[in-house]
Amino acid sequence: MKYCSACAYPLSLQIPPDDTRLRHVCGQCGVIHYQNPKMVVGSIPLWDTGDKAQVLLCRRAIEPRYGFWTLPAGFMENSETTAEAALRETVEEAGAHIELQSLFSMLNVPHVDQVHLYYRARLVDLDFAAGVESLEVRLFTEAEIPWNEIAFATVSHTLKFFFADLASVRAGQCFGFHSLDINRPESTIK
Ligand SMILES: [Zn+2]
């Protein structure tokens, strides 16, 4: 951040009175431009026939991680709820009709100043199609997941939690809620 969005004057980094962190402060109008973590919100769309469970993944048509697979997710917009963001991103990226279920995972990624949330979701039908940010959208069983081609560690961890829980659900238990702090870049999780 270089210029004040209120008056276009150059900003300087300083610790304001009664604060403990460096902030971008406008030397002309005095506005302090706080920067806080961004929310990335998505869903885990499941198509479950009873004997076969498949999750919908999107192959990214945008950087970063072009060509890698991800769950439908994206940055939360102002004026929407986390559930609305998860639904919107699933429609935009996968053209999928889902029924949103409970919040499943929360992953802190402090080195990029992000918090990722994933909701469980039930695919209502198989009428889905790649949106403009996806090259391809398809269903995967756990055995088919391309673990070496997953775009982000938050997605790999969420999928691992999900399939582990799914096995427990088959054995009569319930889905849990999973939180994890990812403190450093992980290129690939196996
Ligand atoms: Zn200003």
**Ligand 1 mean position, distance from CA 24 (Å):** 10
- Work out the average pLDDT over 47-60: 96
For range 34-40, the mean pLDDT: 97
pLDDT at 190 over 50: no
Q: How far is the CA of 3 from the centre of ligand 1 (A)?
A: 8
- Average of per-residue pLDDT across 120-139: 97
Average pLDDT along the chain: 95
Nearest in space to 149 (alpha carbons), one of 89, 65, 90:
65
Of 46, 52, 50, give the one whose Cα is nearest residue 121: 46
Model pTM?
A: 0.91
Separation of CA 33 and ligand 1 centre (Å) = 9
pLDDT of 104 above 80: yes
For 90, list phi and psi in degrees, rounded to 5: -70, -35
23 CA from centroid of ligand 1 (Å): 13
Sign, CA dihedral 128-134-135-141, equals negative
Q: Give the distance (Å) from ligand 1 centre to CA of residue 35.
A: 16
If you measure from the C-alpha of residue 4 to the centroid of ligand 1, how many angstroms do you get, rounded to a whole number? Answer: 5
Stretch 76-105: mean pLDDT, rounded?
98
C-alpha 189/C-alpha 71 separation (Å) is 15
Cα 115 to ligand 1 centroid, rounded to whole Å:
29
CB atoms within 10 A of CB 104: 20
For residue 119, with 0-12 CB atoms within 10 Å meaning exposed, 13-18 middle and 19 or more buried, which class applies? buried
Cα of 6 from ligand 1 centre, angstroms: 5
Contact 32, 56 (CB under 8 A): no
The mean per-residue pLDDT over the stretch 130-140 comes to: 96
pLDDT, position 185: 65
Phi and psi for 110 in degrees, rounded to 5? -65, -25
